[in-house]
Amino acid sequence: MRKTFLTLALLALPFAANAQTKVAATPAMGWNSWNHFATHVTDKDVRAAADAIVASGMKDAGYIYVNIDDAWQGKRDASGNIVPNSKFPDMKALADYVHSKGLKIGIYSSPGPQTCGRYEGSYQHEEQDAKMYAQWGMDYLKYDLCSYGQIMRKAAPGDQAKQYEMMHAAYEKMHKALLATGRPIFFSLCQYGFDSVWKWGPTVGGNSWRTTDDIEDSYMSMSNIGFAQAGLSKYAGPGHWNDPDMLEVGNGKMKYNEYLTHMSLWAILAAPLLAGNDLSQMSAETKSILLNKDVIAIDQDPLGKQGDRVSAEGPFEVWSKPLKNGDVAVGLFNRGHDAEQMSLPLQKLGLTSSSKIHNVWNTSDNGHGPWMVPEHGVVLLIVKK
């Protein structure tokens, strides 16, 4: 049964691919409320984020989506329509406000009866909710597995294959509901990498899919998630992207060099760049990281290739990402506790000593190395062959 489902879905993939690519030609960029505000997010917070994206220059840099995560939902009305809670008095007016800034707006739900925060999910109301999102003017949906896992386990105890088949079908159901609205809506799958989602995400209409558990604002969490993406590059491309979760840059629990590693690695991974900090309270340092044009260009490169690991020796890792015009982005990462010198492995990268080098985070240094890479730090280079 599962094999039949995947076969049919794969046959339909070419027809769905065009629509997927239109809304996700490059990885999504924007902001999401969860990492900083969690379940306390309000209409006022979302409006402030939209204002800050414009005022800070983030909009001009490509940050377009303003995404409301969990905890916006109230109960359903007598007709079964989802109603926002008191923190969001008029969702249509909020969407109109975000759109008036030249930005797009996103929302959050679950295929289960409850979200992770125990708010109302979309279970058995998928078509109804999709229509409501479209009426409000939503441009993005993050769909979080949450309580649907309980339904899977109850329906097929001990049968993981059947449970995964149900999971695929739940995401496909919402995808079809979104398509039926006629509104282009970016579909973000949040199911923590279960059943190697990178292999089936495109078949259920995913524009991106979470490959990991939730990120936290710590070097251990960020690095464990980011460096675990090795080997997944072949599954990403225009219209469908691997998602190692949102950015923690600016939330304050990592050091400057660790946030540089975070931003650099996510760019090489062609990951969605969804800021997760309070944009209305950004420091100059945080802005310098989030707004660096070169690192954004690496992430958004129109070639649409995800990077991958080239080598790993002890705590030292080299990652590269092919760019348009034959250029290559290279990250020299030091996961150790002491600053150490690192050099470009020219032969492994197919480069020569005559290649021109641009140092993304230190533009005054365009030498050929070796470079002193600080503890938990990175040297991010754009190399022209």
pTM exceeds 0.85: yes
Residues 6+ apart with CB under 8 A from 35: 215, 217, 246, 247, 248, 251, 276, 277
Whether the Cβ atoms of residue 117 and residue 82 lie closer than 8 Å to each other = no
Of these residues, 51, 195, 214, 294, which one is catalytic? 214
Give the helix/strand (H/E) hosting 134: helix 126-136
pLDDT in tens, 161-201: 999 999 999 999 999 999 999 999 999 999 999 999 999 99
pLDDT in tens, 102-127: 999 999 999 999 999 999 999 999 99
- Whole-number percent of the chain with pLDDT over 70: 95
Judge whether residue 20 has pLDDT over 90: no
Q: Token pair of 95, please?
A: 């969407």
Q: CA of 132: how far to CAs of 12, 89, 136, 169, in Å?
A: 26, 15, 6, 21
CA-CA distance, 344 to 318, in Å (whole number)? 8
Is 214 among the residues known to form the active site? yes
pLDDT in tens, 216-263: 999 999 999 999 999 999 999 999 999 999 999 999 999 999 999 999
**Fold adopted by 308-384:** Immunoglobulin-like (2.60.40)
Among 246, 254, 208, CA closest to 225: 246
65-67/186-190 β-pairing: unpaired
Helix axes 126-136, 91-100, angle to 10 degrees: 50
pLDDT in tens, 256-315: 999 999 999 999 999 999 999 999 999 999 999 999 999 999 999 999 999 999 999 999
Q: How confident is the model at residue 13 (pLDDT cuts 50, 70, 90)?
A: very low
Is 278 among the residues known to form the active site? no
Q: How confident is the model at residue 18 (pLDDT cuts 50, 70, 90)?
A: low
CA-CA distance, 143 to 122, in Å (whole number)? 9
Q: How confident is the model at residue 365 (pLDDT cuts 50, 70, 90)?
A: confident
Phi, psi dihedrals of residue 378, rounded to the nearest 5°: -150, 150
Supply the pLDDT for residue 352.
82
Whether the Cβ atoms of residue 358 and residue 294 lie closer than 8 Å to each other = yes
Q: Which CATH superfamily groups domain 2-299?
A: Aldolase class I (3.20.20.70)
Count CA atoms within 13 Å of residue 64 on its CB side.
Answer: 16
**Torsion sign across C-alpha atoms 176, 178, 183, 189:** negative
Of these residues, 144, 217, 299, 301, which one is catalytic? 144
Determine which of 12-16, 17-21, 96-100, 177-181 has the lowest per-residue pLDDT on average.
Answer: 12-16
pLDDT in tens, 46-102: 999 999 999 999 999 999 999 999 999 999 999 999 999 999 999 999 999 999 999
Delimiting residues of CATH 3.20.20.70 domain(s) in the chain: 2-299
Q: CA of 270: how far to CAs of 25, 229, 303, in Å?
A: 11, 11, 10
Determine which of 186-195, 327-336, 340-349 has the lowest per-residue pLDDT on average.
Answer: 340-349
Among 191, 182, 177, 52, CA closest to 126: 177
CA-CA distance, 106 to 1, in Å (whole number)? 34
Whether the Cβ atoms of residue 227 and residue 265 lie closer than 8 Å to each other = yes
Judge whether residue 34 has pLDDT over 50: yes
Delimiting residues of CATH 2.60.40.1180 domain(s) in the chain: 308-384
Residues 6+ apart with CB under 8 A from 367: 357
Whether the Cβ atoms of residue 49 and residue 279 lie closer than 8 Å to each other = yes
Long-range contacts: 85-91, Cβ < 8 Å, 24+? 85/119, 87/41, 87/42, 87/43, 88/42, 88/43, 89/43, 90/43, 91/136
CA-CA distance, 127 to 173, in Å (whole number)? 8
Q: Token pair of 180, please?
A: 């039926």
Farthest-apart Cα atoms in the chain, separation = 70
